[in-house]
Structure 1
Amino acid sequence: MRKPLRLIASEPDEVEIISAALQDAVAQLGDLKWDRRARRFTLVVNRYRWEDGKRGPGWRVRSALDIGSVTSVKASRVKQDAPGAVVSILALVFETGEAPGGALRVDLSGGGRIRIEVECVDLLLADISEPWRAVGRPEHGGPDA
């Protein structure tokens, strides 16, 4: 059995680590939720396990990213009326604002973007299922692909 991933970010530079773990994760838009009252934004995704190395097609696992201290969420080029639409996460970027706050930008395939304003960096990424064999390994082109 593969060890589940559990990462916490509380500093802006730690967001890059979570971004790397989320690269090429896929999700249905209906699995991205903002709870205004609790001030939390949650993404439940099928994450590619990059940490397993470069051999074979690799593995995917169901994972949840919980973002706390959220003050607002804005989406652009995202079909909010299509909860079954599938997107791929390209990157998670922290844009510094008035310290310790700022915005987390979730870059999606197809040019979509979600901007999550936060009072501080408060992220938890955790695997929530057993892994399964991936159909294939994500490819990005370029000289190192």
Structure 2
Amino acid sequence: MQDARFEDGGERALKLVALDGEDLAVVSALVQDAVFPASEMSWDAGRRRFALLLNRFRWEDRSAAQARGRDVERVQSVLSVSDVLKVQSQGIEKGDADMILSVLSLSFVPGDDGMGRLELVLAGDGAIALEVEALDVTLQDVTRPYVAPSKHTPEHDMSA
């Protein structure tokens, strides 16, 4: 018997749930550099659910793609947050549905009795803050992977 390798996941769609800070760190790494138009962001106050339809860079496949000489990929994924009490944003133009946003990271600031604040940091000084009753984040791929239009791995300027 042999342990499964990371590469064995292949083309399978991701479906991950984050219920604590460690889980959220994994989801954050996977959504780094995901892009989405502002029109693909929704909050259903009645159901207390916030969701984003992201075009996620497939970080989990990057090494395999490079080793096999194939193009890197993106996939459409839904990032959903349950038990959302309040949504705030900064650096996002209200009414500009075509504005393209890019996720840098997700973090959770715990409060009292499991409550807290989920922060989505966006490129260009943007941010979305969700006051939540409990941390409950789901990341689910909803399409097959496709070749990243740029055909390049996202890069970050580390000098700043």
Q: TM-score range by the shorter chain?
A: over 0.9
Corresponding residue for 1:44?
53
3-state SS, counterpart of residue 138 of structure 1: coil
Corresponding residue for 1:138?
154
Find runs of 4+ consecutive structure 1 residues off by over 6 angstroms: none
Q: How many residues align?
A: 143
- C-alpha displacement at 1:23, in angstroms? 0.2
Verify: 1:69 aligned to 2:83, yes or no.
yes
TM-score (structure 2 length as normaliser): 0.85
TM-score (structure 1 length as normaliser): 0.93
**Whose radius of gyration is greater, 1 or 2?**
2
1 or 2, which has the higher helix percentage? 2
Verify: 1:23 aligned to 2:32, yes or no.
yes
Q: Which runs of 5+ in 1 are unaligned?
A: none
CA distance in 1, matches of 2:94, 2:27: 24
Give the superposed CA RMSD: 1.5
Q: Which runs of 5+ in 2 are unaligned?
A: 1-9
Corresponding residue for 1:94?
108
Corresponding residue for 1:4?
13
Give the alignment of 1:48-127 within 5 angstroms: 48-54=57-63, 55=66, 57-127=71-141
Q: Percent identity?
A: 34
Question: Per-residue CA shift, 1:12-42, capped at 9, x if unaligned?
Answer: 3211111001000000011010100000000
